[in-house]
Amino acid sequence: MADTLELGGTIFLKTPLQMGMVLAFKSEHLDITPSNLGPTKLQLWNEDNDIALQILIQRRPNRVIFMTNACRQLSLLDGWGKAEEIRNVASSSSPTSNFTISVHDCGYQYQVLFNLTTVHYFHKRFSITSTATKVTYLQESGAGTLSQSLKVSVYKVTTLPYKEKLAIQTGRQVQDVCFAASHRS
d(CA 90, CA 177): 5
In a domain, 158, yes or no: yes
In a domain, 126, yes or no: yes
Domain count, the chain: 1
In a domain, 177, yes or no: no
In a domain, 185, yes or no: no
Report the CATH number that the domain containing residue 29 is assigned in CATH: 2.60.120.200
In contact, 56 and 39? CB cutoff 8 Å: yes
pLDDT of residue 95: 65
pLDDT tens for each residue of 128-171: 788 999 999 998 776 678 999 999 999 999 999 999 999 998 98
In a domain, 82, yes or no: yes
pLDDT of residue 93: 57
Low-confidence ranges of the chain (pLDDT < 50): 174-185
Range of the domain at 87: 3-170
In a domain, 144, yes or no: yes
Residue 93, number of CB atoms within 10 A of its CB: 15
pLDDT of residue 185: 34
pLDDT of residue 91: 56
In a domain, 40, yes or no: yes
| 125 backbone φψ class: left, alpha, beta (φ>0; ψ -120 to 50) | alpha
